């Protein structure tokens, strides 16, 4: 791998990820070195390293391997001449220097476009209807999923399940697939992530196998695409998705889609794709409430009983966890798994003391309130300027805009009043804050880049 080769690969990535993503995330990556199957890139900030790692590392890896390099991992490190700061507990843990490295999620995603391969898209054996706990926040989504899984005449097409992180979208999709396989084994059910759809599409293009690709995707009976927001901004993938979608709907084949937000709110998703998604039944998974969390915990405990038959669980522990831990079921499950493993290691009953010791960090994190200082720090990292420039008096656009973004986020994500926010931005007047907040509200509607910046920062702060 050489600098020059990276230059060529970047051009390929431009086509796949779209111009906006390319400018923001790919262009600033500096090829650093290739050693023992690991390609390292320098990034200006931790924030950027984490983001690229989570969203584009797979794709970069794919392109590298496709260009003849043998690469197992892609890693990112913050450029030495950029001001760095210690990472806080709330951020993604990183290895020293190299921030985060990603191995391909599944090797098969890159290997071929054969139908056998497609059918083998892995379904998680644990994600069935039996193990899905139903409560008010997800009852509609569950009912719709059940209906589709009966495999009867197609009544709503597509079914779109959307909701925040870790609320059970993937679980429900796998459950539908399992159920369909059991009830109607003759059906060709294809489940894959939008990311895999893109890889396969890109590969088919490269290998000049588009006819095969079209044929394969048009010959399934049920198509399930998870995390469809991934294709937003990727123009040619969206186009192909659109045609695949139409062809299947024309043949009256069932399509099931999941997304992290309502189709109409997915930025950079073409209008024609949005409107197709909105044609069927769109149901959301709401954040969990206390009862649902408790139900999920109780179900999990029953499952753990087989692994840890001797463990004692004191009264009140599950209620405490359901009350204290966030709406994200993945976090809740992780906490319980850790608790059981820990209790079995130390051979103690799971009581409140043990729970608080073992889960101190999780409990602290769920108490966490976003602070003005945190927002200022994240925003300055993101725009790669100094914290003092966000707070200080400089009026240059390159400082003023990030400052307004930070003010806007403070207004949205903290309970601070405008005068309080003003005070923390170097003693500014509340009318200045108000103006800043308004300006960002307006820009969010007209300037895609600002809207994206704000959204990304909000997510990073809420993570
Ligand atoms: N209602 C539920 N009953 C039982 N388990 C659940 C429920 N909701 C979520 N889970 C569990 O929580 C974990 C996260 O769920 P899942 O992966 O389906 O979330 P998701 O909505 O697809 O999230 P992401 O947006 O991160 O992909 C899984 O282990 C899943 O089994």
- What ipTM was reported for this prediction? 0.98
Give pLDDT tens digits for 308-327: 888 889 988 999 898 888 76
> Do the domain assignments include residue 22?
yes
Tell me: do 31 and 131 sit in the same domain. no
Tell me: do 179 and 313 sit in the same domain. no
Tell me: do 48 and 17 sit in the same domain. yes
The answer to whether residue 51 scores a pLDDT higher than 70 is yes
**How far apart (Å, rounded) are the C-alpha atoms in residues 259 and 416?**
32
> Do the domain assignments include residue 111?
no
Residue with the smallest CA separation from ligand 1 atom 28 is 330
Of 161, 164, 166, the one to substitute when testing ligand 1's pocket (max ligand atoms within 8 A of C-beta) is 166
Residues with CB under 6 A from ligand 1: 127, 131-133, 138, 163, 165-171, 260, 296, 329-330, 333
Task: Residue 21: give its domain's CATH number.
Answer: 3.30.300.180
> Do the domain assignments include residue 151?
yes
Contacts of 332 (CB under 8 A, 6+ apart): 288, 293, 296, 297, 321, 322, 325, 326
pLDDT above 90 as % of the chain: 51
> Do the domain assignments include residue 86?
yes
Residue-level pLDDT at 2: 83
Task: Residue 176: give its domain's CATH number.
Answer: 3.40.50.300
Residue-level pLDDT at 379: 96
Tell me: do 272 and 177 sit in the same domain. yes
**What number does the ligand 1 atom closest to the CA of 135 have?**
1
Separation of CA 166 and ligand 1 centre (Å): 5
What's the alpha-carbon Rg for the chain, to the nearest Å?
A: 24
Boundary residue ending a domain (284, 300, 329): 284
Six-digit token string for 427? 């003693």
Q: Are strands 189-193 and 159-163 parallel, antiparallel or unpaired?
A: unpaired
Q: Residue 455, preceding bond cis, omega within 30 degrees?
A: no
Tell me: do 265 and 331 sit in the same domain. no
Check residue 132 and report its DSSP letter. P
Tell me: do 213 and 316 sit in the same domain. no
Boundary residue ending a domain (265, 284, 303): 284
For residues 441-463, give the mean pLDDT: 87
Residue-level pLDDT at 107: 32
> Do the domain assignments include residue 48?
yes
Separation of CA 50 and ligand 1 centre (Å): 23
Residue-level pLDDT at 92: 34
Nearest to 277 by CA among 265, 263, 266: 263
Residue-level pLDDT at 94: 33
For residues 67-96, give the mean pLDDT: 58
Residue with the smallest CA separation from ligand 1 atom 4 is 132
The answer to whether residue 108 scores a pLDDT higher than 50 is no
Tell me: do 71 and 18 sit in the same domain. yes
Angle of helix 448-462 relative to helix 397-413, nearest 10 degrees, comes to: 50
> Do the domain assignments include residue 113?
no
Q: Are strands 189-193 and 222-226 parallel, antiparallel or unpaired?
A: parallel
Task: Residue 428: give its domain's CATH number.
Answer: 1.10.1750.10
Q: What pTM value is reported for the model?
A: 0.60
**What number does the ligand 1 atom closest to the CA of 260 have?**
25
Residue with the smallest CA separation from ligand 1 atom 5 is 132
Tell me: do 58 and 124 sit in the same domain. no
Tell me: do 358 and 318 sit in the same domain. yes
Contacts of 3 (CB under 8 A, 6+ apart): 31
Number of domains in the chain: 4
Please check whether residue 113 is in contact with residue 200, taking contact to mean a CB–CB distance below 8 angstroms.
yes
Six-digit token string for 303? 């499952």
- Domain that residue 31 falls in: 3-102
Residue-level pLDDT at 90: 32
Tell me: do 53 and 174 sit in the same domain. no
> Do the domain assignments include residue 454?
yes
The residue assigned the tokens 């831990």 is 325
Tell me: do 155 and 253 sit in the same domain. yes
For residues 100-121, give the mean pLDDT: 36
Residue 163 marked ligand-binding: no
Higher pLDDT, 46 or 418: 418
Residue 151 marked ligand-binding: no
The answer to whether residue 64 scores a pLDDT higher than 80 is yes
**What number does the ligand 1 atom closest to the CA of 124 have?**
31
Separation of CA 287 and ligand 1 centre (Å): 11
Of 171, 177, 300, the one to substitute when testing ligand 1's pocket (max ligand atoms within 8 A of C-beta) is 171
- The arrangement of strands across the sheet holding 30-35 comes to 30-35, 38-43, 73-78
Separation of CA 25 and ligand 1 centre (Å): 28
**Which CB contacts under 8 angstroms, 24+ apart, belong to 89-94?**
89/361, 89/365, 90/365, 90/368, 90/374, 90/463, 91/46, 91/50, 92/50, 94/46, 94/49, 94/50
Residue with the smallest CA separation from ligand 1 atom 15 is 168
Please check whether residue 28 is in contact with residue 44, taking contact to mean a CB–CB distance below 8 angstroms.
yes
The answer to whether residue 223 scores a pLDDT higher than 80 is yes
The answer to whether residue 105 scores a pLDDT higher than 50 is no
Any idea how long the chain is?
463
The answer to whether residue 461 scores a pLDDT higher than 90 is no
Tell me: do 135 and 261 sit in the same domain. yes
The number of CA neighbours under 13 Å toward the Cβ of 99 is: 26
Residue-level pLDDT at 179: 96
At 264, is the pLDDT very low, low, confident or very high (cuts 50, 70, 90)? very high
Nearest to 251 by CA among 216, 215, 220: 220
Residue 170 marked ligand-binding: yes
54-63, 275-284, 355-364, 424-433 — which is least confidently predicted?
54-63
Separation of CA 167 and ligand 1 centre (Å): 5
Higher pLDDT, 368 or 223: 223
Buried b (16+ CB within 10 A) or exposed e, 242-260: eebbeebbeeebbbbbbbb
**How far apart (Å, rounded) are the C-alpha atoms in residues 276 and 243?**
11
The answer to whether residue 269 scores a pLDDT higher than 90 is yes
Residue 316 marked ligand-binding: no
Task: Residue 323: give its domain's CATH number.
Answer: 1.10.8.60
Of 54, 131, 140, 168, the one to substitute when testing ligand 1's pocket (max ligand atoms within 8 A of C-beta) is 168
Angle of helix 317-324 relative to helix 360-367, nearest 10 degrees, comes to: 40
Six-digit token string for 36? 């023992």
Start-to-end Cα distance in the chain: 34
Residue-level pLDDT at 54: 75
Separation of CA 261 and ligand 1 centre (Å): 15
Boundary residue ending a domain (49, 68, 102): 102
> Do the domain assignments include residue 12?
yes
Residue-level pLDDT at 436: 96
Please check whether residue 53 is in contact with residue 103, taking contact to mean a CB–CB distance below 8 angstroms.
no
At 59, is the pLDDT very low, low, confident or very high (cuts 50, 70, 90)? confident
**What number does the ligand 1 atom closest to the CA of 285 have?**
21
Give pLDDT tens digits for 349-398: 999 999 999 998 888 777 657 889 999 999 999 999 999 999 988 888 88
């Amino acid at each position: 791998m050489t600098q020059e080769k990276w230059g060529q690969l970047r051009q390929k990535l431009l086509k796949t990820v779209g111009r906006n993503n390319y400018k923001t995330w790919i262009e600033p990556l500096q090829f650093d070195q290739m050693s023992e199957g690991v390609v390292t890139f320098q990034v200006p900030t931790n924030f950027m390293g984490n983001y690229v790692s989570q969203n584009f590392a797979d794709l970069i890896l794919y392109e590298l391997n496709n260009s003849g390099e043998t690469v197992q991992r892609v890693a990112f490190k913050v450029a030495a001449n950029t001001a760095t700061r210690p990472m806080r507990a709330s951020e993604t843990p990183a290895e020293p220097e190299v921030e985060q490295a990603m191995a391909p999620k599944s090797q098969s995603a890159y290997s071929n476009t054969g139908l056998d391969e497609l059918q083998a898209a892995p379904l998680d054996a644990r994600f069935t209807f039996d193990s899905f706990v139903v409560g008010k926040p997800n009852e509609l989504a569950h009912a719709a999923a059940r209906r589709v899984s009966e495999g009867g005449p197609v009544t709503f097409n597509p079914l779109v399940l959307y909701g925040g992180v870790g609320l059970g979208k993937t679980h429900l999709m796998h459950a539908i697939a399992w159920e369909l396989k059991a009830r109607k084994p003759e059906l060709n059910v294809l489940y894959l992530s939008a990311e895999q759809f893109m890889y396969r599409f890109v590969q088919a293009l490269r290998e000049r196998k588009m006819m095969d690709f079209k044929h394969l995707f048009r010959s399934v009976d049920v198509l399930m695409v998870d995390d469809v927001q991934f294709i937003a901004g990727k123009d040619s993938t969206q186009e192909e998705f659109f045609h695949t979608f139409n062809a299947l709907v024309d043949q009256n084949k069932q399509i099931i889609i999941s997304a992290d937000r309502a189709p109409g709110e997915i930025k950079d998703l073409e209008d024609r794709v949005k409107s197709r998604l909105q044609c069927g039944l769109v149901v959301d998974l709401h954040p969990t409430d206390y009862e649902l969390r408790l139900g999920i915990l109780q179900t999990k405990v029953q499952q753990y009983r087989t692994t840890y038959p001797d463990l004692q669980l004191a009264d009140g522990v599950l209620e405490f966890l359901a009350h204290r831990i966030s709406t994200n079921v993945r976090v809740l499950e992780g906490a319980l798994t850790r608790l059981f493993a820990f209790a079995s290691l130390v051979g103690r009953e799971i009581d409140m003391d043990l729970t608080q010791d073992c889960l101190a960090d999780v409990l602290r994190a769920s108490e966490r309130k976003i602070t003005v200082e945190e927002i200022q720090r994240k925003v300055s990292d993101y725009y790669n300027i100094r914290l003092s420039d966000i707070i200080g008096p400089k009026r240059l656009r390159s400082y003023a805009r990030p400052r307004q973004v930070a003010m806007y986020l403070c207004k949205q994500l903290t309970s601070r009043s405008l005068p309080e926010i003003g005070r923390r931005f170097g003693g500014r007047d509340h009318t200045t804050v108000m103006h800043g907040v308004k300006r960002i509200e307006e820009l969010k509607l007209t300037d895609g880049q600002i809207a994206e910046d704000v959204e990304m920062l909000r997510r990073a702060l809420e993570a």
